[in-house]
Structure 1
Amino acid sequence: MPLIDSHCHFDFDAFAADRQQVWARCEVLGVQGMVIPGVSIPQWRHLFALVNTQTGWYGAVGVHPWWVKDLAIVPERLASAIVERVGRERSGANRCVAVGECGLDANIETPLAEQLPVFKAQIEAAAALKLPLIIHCVRAHNEIIRLLKQCYLPCGGVIHAFSGSREIAEEYWKLGFYLGVGGTITYPRAAKTRAALAAMPLESLLLESDAPDMPHAGRQGQRNSPEYLPAVADTLADLRGITSAAVIAQTGNNARALFGI
């Protein structure tokens, strides 16, 4: 079964010099699918121009919390802008599989009060489009869970780079959200997250690199890459006491079910 990287910023400049070489190595290692999230309105065009060049690559349309400060339209117009862009992609190669990356980040200068209407607009767009939502959450689980309980998202979504307790993980899973598993679990000090992801049903998990970010233990300060995704599968398998093949098969099925790929 092929590995699917459910979250990789492969369009970023960090891969500009050797993107095709990296992907060639990925394919040799069994990574054959990838979802590239949206982060800002100006990026969407470039993202899908790239996605449509390669079988196995898929995109999403969204505004990341880090780019909220640069949003050139009022939040009230964002949902319609997303719906319009997704409609444009669906009229072509139809490689748009989600709304996001969006969410709340309490570690940045932009106040949560400014991030919130932008996030709500993307929830609205995901509901209207019947697409899953890719959520970025940093120190804002309570706010996001409270908001999701007030909304109806027919296709659920994924909590990207999940970091938290088993109790929080179970809350998201009940709300129809998968949990993104990445390089964080390669660090023994991430005991709470490792324990939570070892205890959750394998049916609730997706593998992700978040490359070029989220470097693995032993690779701090280096560019992360989707070619390291097999190490995430191996670590998760070790934590759960099962085979890597079982992890790869189930998480691949999960990604295909969520994103319709």
Structure 2
Amino acid sequence: MLDLVDTHAHLDDRSFDGDRSAMFGRASEAGVRRWIVPAIDRGNWEAIEVLCASREGAFPAYGLHPLMTDAHREEHLAELPAWLEGHGAVAVGEIGLDFYVEGLDPARQRDVFVRQLGIAREHDLPVIVHARRAFEETIHTLRRFKGLRGVVHSFSGSEEQARQLFDLGFHLGIGGPVTYERANRIRRVVAAMPLEWLLLETDAPDQPCAHHRGERNEPAFMTDVLETIVSLRGESAEAIATATTANAIKLFKL
């Protein structure tokens, strides 16, 4: 039986309100029995805490997502350290930079990102990083925080960018996009990368696998990601499951 960790799943999302218990059951049947649940803004920290407290194997991460930049306030950043200390956090996230979506203030994104990286280092917690159209700047920023560890979720960069992240002690979160046949760049990265830096994820309810295109994504579908990686690397499902689960346990101290 597989033992997998979904290292990025927004399981507090309202799309799961009607069948959340059944969703967890399907995940467990598929061998996905632990989940990291990252926040997006101050407004869902309580919901994530309650969800993770009520479900064995679910672990919270608290942070301020770049896509929600307009909603972030100074008091939210001020509250973050206390939440990390007293509410079971295994990481700071989801945080980062997004230069793809128009209308988001880049300067404000940078400020919020850098300050959260500092908070994570102060609390000796890993970070869950969102980087879209921002890989070079993200890597440059991470270099400023020696000793910080974490994962770049939904990695879509180049092989060289991946190597730079490994050198910084960062993992790559790989999910649904790798299952699409035309995803040549990320498939090359996954085929060649050291297994010690690989983490599996879904980003549920977003980024469904090719076989579930157009559907709500959920952790049970992560076996499709695993099967694709098996075919790309020529290794057994058991070997990849064992390694990626060990990576997640070590990074997040599960």
| TM more than 0.5 | yes
Instruction: State the match for 1:118 in structure 2.
Output: 112
C-alpha deviation, 1:153, in angstroms: 3.8
Correspondent of 1:241 among 207, 214, 234:
234
C-alpha deviation, 1:101, in angstroms: 0.2
Instruction: State the match for 1:64 in structure 2.
Output: 65
For normalisation by structure 1, the TM-score amounts to: 0.94
C-alpha deviation, 1:42, in angstroms: 1.4
C-alpha deviation, 1:128, in angstroms: 0.6
C-alpha deviation, 1:218, in angstroms: 3.4
Flag structure 1 segments of 5+ consecutive residues without an equivalent. Answer: none
- 1:62–1:122 contact (8 Å) kept in structure 2: yes
Distance, in Å, in 1 between the alignment partners of 2:196 and 2:86 is 32
User: Quick one: percent identity of the two aligned structures?
Assistant: 37
Correspondent of 1:141 among 131, 135, 150:
135
Instruction: State the match for 1:55 in structure 2.
Output: 56
Distance, in Å, in 2 between the alignment partners of 1:28 and 1:223 is 18
- 1:186–1:217 contact (8 Å) kept in structure 2: yes
Instruction: State the match for 2:38 in structure 1.
Output: 37
Distance, in Å, in 2 between the alignment partners of 1:50 and 1:173 is 32
Paired residue secondary structure (1:134): strand
Instruction: State the match for 2:184 in structure 1.
Output: 191
> Which shows bigger deviation, 213-222 or 117-126?
213-222
C-alpha deviation, 1:160, in angstroms: 0.2
C-alpha deviation, 1:88, in angstroms: 2.0
Distance, in Å, in 2 between the alignment partners of 1:211 and 1:42 is 19
Distance, in Å, in 2 between the alignment partners of 1:62 and 1:187 is 30
- 1:162–1:181 contact (8 Å) kept in structure 2: yes
Distance, in Å, in 1 between the alignment partners of 2:85 and 2:161 is 34
C-alpha deviation, 1:105, in angstroms: 0.4
Paired residue secondary structure (1:152): coil
C-alpha deviation, 1:79, in angstroms: 4.4
Paired residue secondary structure (2:212): coil
Q: Deviations over 1:6-30 (max 9, x none)?
A: 0000110011100100111111111
Distance, in Å, in 1 between the alignment partners of 2:42 and 2:246 is 30
Paired residue secondary structure (1:124): helix
Instruction: State the match for 2:247 in structure 1.
Output: 254
- 2:97–2:131 contact (8 Å) kept in structure 1: yes
* 1:83 matches 2:76: no
Distance, in Å, in 2 between the alignment partners of 1:214 and 1:153 is 30
Distance, in Å, in 1 between the alignment partners of 2:140 and 2:6 is 28
Distance, in Å, in 2 between the alignment partners of 1:43 and 1:152 is 30
Distance, in Å, in 1 between the alignment partners of 2:120 and 2:76 is 12
Paired residue secondary structure (2:204): coil
Aligned positions, number? 252
Distance, in Å, in 2 between the alignment partners of 1:229 and 1:219 is 11
One-letter amino acid matched to 1:87: E
Output aligned runs, 1:219-234, within 5 Å. 219-234=212-227
Output aligned runs, 1:206-225, within 5 Å. 206-225=199-218
- 2:200–2:244 contact (8 Å) kept in structure 1: yes
For normalisation by structure 2, the TM-score amounts to: 0.96
C-alpha deviation, 1:215, in angstroms: 1.1
C-alpha deviation, 1:210, in angstroms: 0.3
Correspondent of 1:161 among 137, 154, 167:
154
Instruction: State the match for 1:12 in structure 2.
Output: 13
Distance, in Å, in 2 between the alignment partners of 1:163 and 1:2 is 25
Paired residue secondary structure (1:100): strand
Distance, in Å, in 1 between the alignment partners of 2:186 and 2:211 is 18
One-letter amino acid matched to 1:81: E
